[in-house]
Amino acid sequence: MPEQILSINPTTGATIATYEPYNEETVNNALTIAQKGFGVWGKMSFRERGVVFRNIAKELRVQKEDLALLATREMGKPIQQSRDEVEKCAKTFEYYAKEGPKFLADEKVETDAKKSYVSFQPLGVVLAVMPWNFPYWQVFRAMGPALMAGNTMVLKHASNVSGCALAIENVIKKAKAPKGLFQTLLVPSSRVEGLIDNPIIAAITFTGSTHAGSKIAMAAGRNLKKQVLELGGSDAYVVLEDADIEFAAELCKNGRLLNSGQSCVAAKRFVVVKSIRKEFEKLMVEKMQASKFGNPMDSGNKIGPMARHDLRDQLHAQVLKSIEMGAKLLCGGYIPDGEGAFYPPTVLGNVKKGMPAYDEELFGPVAAIIEAKNETDAIRVANDSIYGLGCCIISKDIKHAEQLAAKEMQAGNCFVNDIVHSDARLPFGGVKHSGYGRELGIFGIREFVNIKTVFIK
């Protein structure tokens, strides 16, 4: 008897729903439907695909409140952030409906041929393996460019948000999309490699931990299948000596607490020049302590529970280990009484290399403050990580900060005076152990296509 898939409310600990994993026959039927769907969808015009995309965006807005409530129940996201997430998905599909045809138009190249050009053709069925922290956005972020390019998709979502996974499939159906365009597969993680081995799967897009991404890459490599990996991050926010300290502390607090701190591009390490470290630290502690956490259905709470109790306990263990190694607990750092998987906004000072708070990804509302001798040392510390997903430079000297972001920082997304975030118009992805390939923008839509040379003598 296959193990059941449980959806558990992290706010209350109550079971929301129990699902039976799909058997092999059901999965194989779904893959066959996806393959047949590709034969139809891949031949449709961009105009026809655009109509479907706009219908999907419309249906997302029709179901926005129900989708938001479901996400908050399943993984604890503050309710307004859940609504905003659904709206972002709708806007992204409208963006690709408009811009997709231009991004994938044939590109003429002058050669000695009578005619030569580059054509962008779809690959087939894309397998998406997605995490729980943005249960809609992660999926639609991958789905938008892949589907507009002419591919179809099957989704293996994180098991704790299986309700959201099925709700996404329902949105696509309600929008009257062609059969096989998108399907959810309720299967455990142990069966992902078998899916990658299936000859129907043409490519894989994965968002999740670096450890899991390595396994995905090995399975995809064994099968010689294209993959895009968006993995872990330990984003550094560098606060330079000339920064407005009040502005910097507010920005850093907001960047750390977005999605209750459970984001690959959340601010995690705060590298502050020595001359302003004490002032910044004082303000950061005040702002973190003032941030309310509690029932995510209460719009007054900006922080909900962590998505699972085991994840909360793992984060707490990282905090305790860092303190044991010499980090200073400035606020938070305890497990609250009650049933929910809550963790309070926490600040660690005196963080040094070798501590979990310096070396590892802290996936939750914990800020690690690291003192740097000067600007040069701050950039060194920021880059002293196996990760390279995002970073932020905070400074009044915009031109200088821009040069540091563009030339010095080792990350895929480098921001100046703003929290790191994704935008459908810009490529999103990392370097080093944060993965490779890009989602969104023109680069994202060209990841899962055959970049084909056509040459006419």
Residues 297 and 285: their CA atoms lie apart, in Å, by 25
Please tell me the distance from the alpha carbon of residue 448 to that of residue 230, in angstroms, as a whole number: 15
- Report CA-CA distances (Å) from 66 to 72, 83, 103, 297: 10, 9, 33, 13
Catalytic pick from 230, 281, 439, 447? 230
230 among known catalytic residues? yes
Whole-model pTM: value is 0.97
* DSSP count for the chain of H helices, then E strands: 15, 20
Strand 390-394 relative to strand 346-349, pairing = unpaired
- The set of residues, in sequence order, having a beta carbon less than 8 Å from that of 414 and lying 6+ positions away, is 390, 391, 392, 393, 405, 406
Helix, coil or strand: residue 156: strand
pLDDT tens, per residue, the chain with 457 residues: 458 999 999 999 999 999 999 999 999 999 999 999 999 999 999 999 999 999 999 999 999 999 999 999 999 999 999 999 999 999 999 999 999 999 999 999 999 999 999 999 999 999 999 999 999 999 999 999 999 999 999 999 999 999 999 999 999 999 999 999 999 999 999 999 999 999 999 999 999 999 999 999 999 999 999 999 999 999 999 999 999 999 999 999 999 999 999 999 999 999 999 999 999 999 999 999 999 999 999 988 999 999 999 999 999 999 999 999 999 999 999 999 999 999 999 999 999 999 999 999 999 999 999 999 999 999 999 999 999 999 999 999 999 999 999 999 999 999 999 999 999 999 999 999 999 999 999 999 999 999 999 999 9
- Which residue is catalytic, options 252, 264, 391, 392? 264
In angstroms, how far apart are the furthest CA atoms of the chain? 75
The backbone region for 260, taken as left when phi is positive above 0, alpha when psi lies in -120 to 50, beta otherwise, is: left
